[in-house]
Amino acid sequence: MKLLDALSAFSEWTDHLLTRRSARAGRLGALRLDAYRSYGTAAKFYIKGRLMADPGIAPQTAADSRWRNFRSMVRRFNSREITGADLVAELPDGSQHLVTTDDEGYFTLIIEPHALPEPESYLWYPVPVRTVRLPTNYPLPTAVVQASAKVLVPPPSAEFGVISDLDDTVFETVATNVLKMLARTLLSNAHSKLPFVGVAEFYQRLQRGRTGRPDNPFFYVSSSPWNLYDVLDEFMGIHQMPPGPLLLRDLGISRPKTPPPPGVVGSAAIHFAHKLHEIDDLLTTYPHLPFVLLGDSGQEDARIYREVVRRHPGRIRAIYIRDVQVPARALLVGPIAEELKVEGVPMLLVAEYATAAQHAAGLGLIVGVEQKEKEDLSN
């Protein structure tokens, strides 16, 4: 771990040096403040975002070539973050909450509002964030940069929450093959990525549960880096996936917040630790809300979700694992599913989402097909 910390410190130092040199040479350009979709309760908001030099990425379109997508991806990953900047989030009650960006330009705020602000849309509450002081070692324009953080607050009528992976769960990345995964990531955009058949409809039905109202909150936990946030967020909108916080990972080299279990090493350990930490936070934030978990057999999702069940007994209603059609990976799911059966938690390995939907209807999580058709006709 000492070597890992040293590499992280060296990476940050060189990145900051290049950013300062670019700023002095006038090549840094305007700043961009990203405020990510996040979550909270009526008593506590969790807000996260990042301040960086605007990479100048053109809007994504369906006509973009692979070469254009690649150039845009290079700009996303060649970020010039601004460390040591002071920001303020201000609520309608007049309270102000200060925060300083960290070594990677990120900021995290935990706010206890006196009252909920007016919702921007159903379940989503806006919190304005702006810069108040930029670091003196960056000769940057002093104009205020601002953004609006959107915070998801589930209603009391929510039946359950849903936590879903993204890669190879919602769309294909072939995470079991590093070269293919890199090609799909670097050469695609929000329009060229395609969701799996039936995933959007199944997720919408989970969001509506048995009441027919979109009350059940969605959370997307992925090991994809924050650099891909805009691509993933736009993809979700294009394909009408239930909106939810995207809980991604810092690309930097750092010590995991939650250590993985013995025997999980390398990139699998990073993936395991990040997802387990984020899921723990979600279940702690909503102690009275049960959850449905969705993932795939390509990485560590089955083992991560087994650990979640152990840490939070009685909280998980069902687990659905999409089969990525790699036999060796599918074989790992069976024994875990048998273990969880003893705990009263069904884990289903599915080749298509129609099978998952049928199972969820049998559990009473969603309306069955026949009832859904009757409701559609009546509407």
Same domain (yes/no): 136, 167: no
Domain range holding 374? 161-378
Same domain (yes/no): 19, 75: yes
pLDDT for position 11: 42
Domain count, the chain: 2
Same domain (yes/no): 362, 231: yes
Q: β-strand 45-53 against 106-111: which pairing, if any?
A: antiparallel
Query: What does the alpha-carbon distance between residue 288 and residue 290 come to, in Å, rounded to a whole number?
Result: 7
Same domain (yes/no): 231, 114: no
Q: Which residues of 137-167 are buried (b: 16+ CB within 10 A; e: fewer)?
A: ebebeeeebebebbbbbbeeebbbbbbbbbb
pLDDT for position 292: 98
pLDDT for position 317: 97
R_g of the chain, CA atoms, integer Å: 21
Same domain (yes/no): 49, 193: no
Residue with tokens 């723990």: 280
Query: What does the alpha-carbon distance between residue 266 and residue 244 come to, in Å, rounded to a whole number?
Result: 29
Same domain (yes/no): 147, 170: no
pLDDT beneath 50, residues of the chain: 1-14, 16, 20, 23-26, 253, 255, 377
Task: Name the β-bridge partners of 352.
Answer: none
Task: Give the end of a domain, one of 95, 123, 152.
Answer: 152
- 311's CB contacts (< 8 A; 6+ apart) are 280, 283
User: What pTM did the predictor assign?
Assistant: 0.88
pLDDT for position 10: 38
Same domain (yes/no): 145, 266: no
pLDDT for position 9: 42
Task: Give the end of a domain, one of 152, 174, 208.
Answer: 152
| Domain harbouring 44, CATH code | 2.60.40
Query: What does the alpha-carbon distance between residue 20 and residue 170 come to, in Å, rounded to a whole number?
Result: 39
Dihedral sign of CA atoms 240, 163, 294, 173 in order: positive
Same domain (yes/no): 92, 184: no
Same domain (yes/no): 214, 338: yes
Q: Residue 40's closest CA among 83, 81, 103, 97?
A: 97
Same domain (yes/no): 79, 179: no
pLDDT for position 175: 64
Contact 189, 69 (CB under 8 A): yes
Q: Give me 183's structure tokens.
A: 């090609």
pLDDT for position 178: 76
Task: Name the β-bridge partners of 154.
Answer: none
| Domain harbouring 228, CATH code | 3.40.50.1000
Same domain (yes/no): 136, 17: yes
pLDDT for position 342: 92
Largest CA distance in the chain: 66
Of all residues in the chain, the percent with pLDDT exceeding 90 is: 58
Work out the end-to-end distance of the chain between its first and last CA atoms, rounded to an integer number of angstroms. Answer: 59
Arithmetic mean of pLDDT over the chain = 85
Task: Give the end of a domain, one of 114, 132, 152.
Answer: 152
pLDDT for position 251: 73
Dihedral sign of CA atoms 161, 245, 190, 165 in order: negative
Same domain (yes/no): 174, 132: no
